[in-house]
Amino acid sequence: MNFLNEVSQHWPDAVSLAAGRPYEEFFDDDAPGRWLDRFRRHLADDLGQTPEQVRRTLFQYGRTKGIIHHLIARNLAVDEDVHVDDEAVVVTVGCQEAMLLVLRALRAGPTDVLLAVAPTYVGLTGAARLVELPVRPVAGGPAGVDLADLRAQVHRARAAGLRPRACYVMPDFANPSGTSIGLADRQRLLDLAVEEDLLLIEDNPYGLFPAGDADRVPTLKALDTRRRVVYLGSFAKTVLPGARIGYLVADQRVGGVDGAVGLFADQLAKIKSMVSVNTSPLAQAVIGGALLEHGCSLVAANRRERAAYTRNRDQLLAGLRRRFPAGSPVRWNTPAGGFFVVVTVPFPVDDALLRRSAERYGVLWTPMAHFYDDGRPVDALRLSVSAVTPAQIDLGLDRLAALITDELTRAAIPAG
């Protein structure tokens, strides 16, 4: 991520098909203040807090697990048909902190390992590195997860004396692959988790952005009758990145160091108290107010954003078809929603190529090699459609096509 930031700062005029940031056109100057007021009224009118208590809730240190947990639980019920106790929710500093907490809790000793569907979000591998929890890749493939490979990896790890604690997966419009897991495979994945005594860490930042209504599939957590799923959520894409509010749902019953059995969420909250004490109540209040303004549903609230992402995705796919017609060695996938499309080319795609692309062609994208932890070359790149206009997409594709054409020509000329 640092390399990407550096490149984009160095070439600010390049079209960025790299950034996974949400669409900016609908940002509203007045929204944070309005939402803060809305949450204040909720504390007073719905929760019966006195003016002094409202001030204390917003301005003081506060509850480690957060102050909008009840609204998040309601949001999950309304939007995802996920029904969990408020106490199983921990509000975190973005989804990144949620990942860190879960991975730190799972890392009890040096034989613990994490499985993760590859390619994998870099925030996950970064957090795992920080807590010294080795990540072993599981093949993703066109179905989103290769279940046979997952089972084989579990067995392989155990045979090596290791303890696979969980498998990380992004079932909806994954970052970076764009791939989704079908309903039948979700059920099979949950069964496998039970059979192999594995937790599933479900990360769902893009679930509200299907291209078509039929492209929404129940989350693993909605199907999780056996408490195998720790769910990670984010309001960065559905409300506002600048609040840095995410959350986790951990309704598993676990034994603590003192032998008492409690909620996994409470164990994670103890870790959180050593990472950030608690999440900013002011920032939580902004998100809480947004949830209240929309009756705790973010589906309708994101109608315009979803339409923009779908329009952009269609623009990108049509643009790729036009520039690389049948017969071209350039291929791409067609995600059913989300922010990302993966383009495969017949040459290795590395940081040096990205730098050349930025410098000479004026277009940024992300080498897919960043999402594999093994340093091997990968012949693919990720394009993001989330923070650009259709005109920028066309300009970016023109420049990308020029780069690819030059690379193909260069590959066709034998070295002198």
Question: Contacting its own copies (CB under 8 A), which of 117, 240, 308, 364?
Answer: 240
Amino acid residing at 1: M
Closest approach of its own copies to the CB of residue 271, in Å? 7
DSSP secondary structure, 206-225, as one string: STT-BSSGGG----TGGG-T
Distance, in Å, from the CA atom of 32 to the CA atom of 11, rounded to the nearest integer, reads: 31
Closest approach of its own copies to the CB of residue 93, in Å? 4
Binding to its own copies, residues 40-59 (CB under 8 A): 51-52, 55-56, 58-59
Q: What is the dihedral sign for C-alpha 96, 102, 104, 107?
A: negative
Output 149 or 203, the one with its CB closest to its own copies: 203
Closest approach of its own copies to the CB of residue 263, in Å? 13
The answer to whether 217 and 182 are in contact (CB under 8 A) is yes
Binding to its own copies, residues 250-289 (CB under 8 A): 270-271, 273-283, 286
Sheet holding 135-139, edge to edge: 89-93, 245-249, 229-234, 199-203, 163-169, 112-118, 135-139
Closest approach of its own copies to the CB of residue 192, in Å? 29
Closest approach of its own copies to the CB of residue 19, in Å? 8
110 backbone dihedrals φ, ψ, rounded to 5°: -70, -10
CA-based nearest residue to 116, from 143, 153, 79, 86: 153
Binding to its own copies, residues 365-384 (CB under 8 A): none
According to the binding rule CB under 8 A, does residue 3 interact with its own copies? no
Distance, in Å, from the CA atom of 37 to the CA atom of 253, rounded to the nearest integer, reads: 37
According to the binding rule CB under 8 A, does residue 126 interact with its own copies? yes
According to the binding rule CB under 8 A, does residue 85 interact with its own copies? no
Closest approach of its own copies to the CB of residue 226, in Å? 29
Q: Are strands 229-234 and 380-384 parallel, antiparallel or unpaired?
A: unpaired
* Segment interacting with its own copies, rule: CB under 8 A, options 21-29, 146-154, 208-216, 358-366: 21-29
According to the binding rule CB under 8 A, does residue 93 interact with its own copies? yes
Closest approach of its own copies to the CB of residue 130, in Å? 5
Output 64 or 179, the one with its CB closest to its own copies: 64
Binding to its own copies, residues 180-239 (CB under 8 A): 236
Closest approach of its own copies to the CB of residue 316, in Å? 21
CA-based nearest residue to 176, from 374, 332, 368: 368
Closest approach of its own copies to the CB of residue 266, in Å? 9
Binding to its own copies, residues 291-350 (CB under 8 A): none
Please work out the total of residues on this chain that contact its own copies, with binding judged by CB under 8 A.
53
Question: Contacting its own copies (CB under 8 A), which of 84, 91, 114, 127?
Answer: 127
According to the binding rule CB under 8 A, does residue 243 interact with its own copies? yes
Kindly state the tokens that stand for 56.
Answer: 């204390």
The answer to whether 276 and 118 are in contact (CB under 8 A) is no
The beta-strand segments (E) located in 140-249 are 163-169, 199-203, 229-234, 245-249
Helix (H) or strand (E) holding 16: strand 15-16
239 backbone dihedrals φ, ψ, rounded to 5°: -130, -70
* Residues near its own copies, by CB under 8 A: 1-2, 5, 21-22, 24, 27, 29, 32-33, 36, 51-52, 55-56, 58-62, 64, 93-94, 96-97, 100, 104, 123, 126-127, 129-130, 236, 240-245, 270-271, 273-283, 286
